[in-house]
Amino acid sequence: MTTKKLYIETVGCQMNVLDSEMVVASLRKRGYELTDSTRDADTILFNTCSVRQHAEDKIYSALGRVRSEKKRDPSKIIGVMGCMAQKDQHQIFKKAPYVDLIVGPGQLQQVPDLIEKAAVEGGQHSALSLERTAGSVNKIKRSHETFDPLRDPTMRPTPFQAYLRIQIGCDKFCTYCIVPMTRGPEQGRVPGQIYDEAKILADQGCKEITLLGQTVNSYKHVDGDQTTDMTSLLELLHDIDGIERIKFVTNYPKDMTTRLLKAIHTLPKVSPYLHVPAQSGSNDVLKRMKRGYTIEDYRDMMSRINEHLPEAAVSSDFIVGFCGETEEEFQATVELVKECRFKNSFIFKYSERPGTRAAGNLVDDISDEVKKRRNNELLAVQTQISEEDNQPFIGQTVQVLVEGPSKKNDRIEKSASGLMQLTGRTHDDRIVVFEGNQRLIGEIIPIGIYECTAFTLIGTVITEEVGPTQLVGLSV
Q: Which residues bind ligand SF4 (CB under 6 A)?
A: 170, 172-174, 177, 179-180, 214-215, 252
Selection from 228, 224, 304, 230 nearest residue 263 by Cα: 230
From 18, 22, 24, 51, residue interacting with ligand F3S (rule: CB under 6 A): 51
Residue 6: burial class (beta carbons within 10 Å; 0-12, 13-18, 19+): buried
Q: Would you call 171 helix, strand, or coil by DSSP?
A: coil
Nearer to ligand SF4, 44 or 177 (CB): 177
Q: Based on the shown chain and the rule CB under 6 A, indicate whether residue 86 belongs to the binding site for ligand F3S.
A: no
Bridge-partner residues for 210, per DSSP?
A: 163, 247
- Residue from the set 126, 182, 356, 375 that interacts with ligand F3S by CB under 6 A: 182
Nearer to ligand SAH, 235 or 352 (CB): 352
Q: How far is the CB of 20 from ligand F3S (least distance, A)?
A: 10
Q: Specify the stretch interacting with ligand F3S by CB under 6 A; choose among 177-185, 383-391, 405-413, 456-464.
A: 177-185
Listing from the earlier edge strand, what are the strands of the sheet with 313-320? 273-275, 313-320, 344-349
Looking at the Cβ atoms of 152 and 171, the one nearer to ligand SAH is: 171
Closer CB to ligand F3S, 178 or 301, in the complex: 178
Q: Give Cβ neighbours of residue 107 (< 8 Å, ≥ 6 apart).
A: 127, 128, 129, 145
How do beta strands 43-48 and 4-10 pair? parallel
- Please state, in angstroms and rounded to a whole number, the distance separating the CA atoms of residues 169 and 178: 11
Nearest distance, CB of residue 301 and ligand SF4, angstroms: 15
Contacts of residue 187, Cβ cutoff 8 Å, sequence gap at least 6 = 141, 144, 146, 167, 168, 169
Shortest spacing between CB 366 and ligand F3S, in angstroms:
22
Please tell me the distance from the alpha carbon of residue 417 to that of residue 288, in angstroms, as a whole number: 58
Q: Contact between 386 and ligand F3S (CB under 6 A)? A: no
What does 173 bind: ligand F3S, ligand SAH, ligand SF4, none (CB cut-off 5 to 8 Å by kind)? ligand SF4
Find all residues with CB under 8 Å of 337, minimum gap 6, and list them. Answer: 281, 316, 318, 345, 378, 381, 382, 385
When CB distances are held under 5 to 8 angstroms depending on the partner's kind, the choice from ligand SAH, ligand SF4, ligand F3S, none that residue 15 binds is ligand F3S
Helix (H) or strand (E) holding 180: helix 179-183
In terms of CB distance, is 175 or 386 closer to ligand SAH? 175
∠ CA 319-325-327, rounded to 5°: 105
Binding site for ligand SAH (CB under 6 A): 51-52, 176-177, 179, 214-215, 250, 277, 279, 317, 319, 348, 350-351, 353
- Using CB under 6 A, which of 24, 49, 92, 337 touches ligand F3S? 49
Q: Which residue is nearest to ligand F3S (CB)?
A: 12
Binding segment for ligand F3S (CB under 6 A), chosen from 9-17, 139-147, 234-242, 304-312, is 9-17
Sheet containing 245-249: which strands, arranged edge to edge? 161-165, 208-212, 245-249
Q: How far apart are CA 398 and CA 434, in angstroms?
A: 12
Beta pairing, strands 419-425 & 431-437: antiparallel
Residue 8 engages ligand F3S in binding (rule: CB under 6 A): no
Minimum Å gap between C-beta 275 and ligand SF4 is 11
Question: Would you say 350 or 434 has its CB closer to ligand SAH?
Answer: 350
Tell me which of ligand SF4, ligand SAH, ligand F3S, none is bound by residue 180, counting a contact when its beta carbon lies within the kind-specific cut-off of 5 to 8 angstroms.
Answer: ligand SF4
What does the chain come to in residues? 476
Position 83 contacts ligand F3S (CB under 6 A): yes
Q: 3-class DSSP state for residue 226?
A: strand
Nearer to ligand SAH, 284 or 317 (CB): 317
Query: According to the binding rule CB under 6 A, does residue 140 interact with ligand F3S?
Result: no
Residue ranges in contact with ligand F3S by CB under 6 A: 12-13, 15-16, 49-51, 82-83, 178-179, 182-183
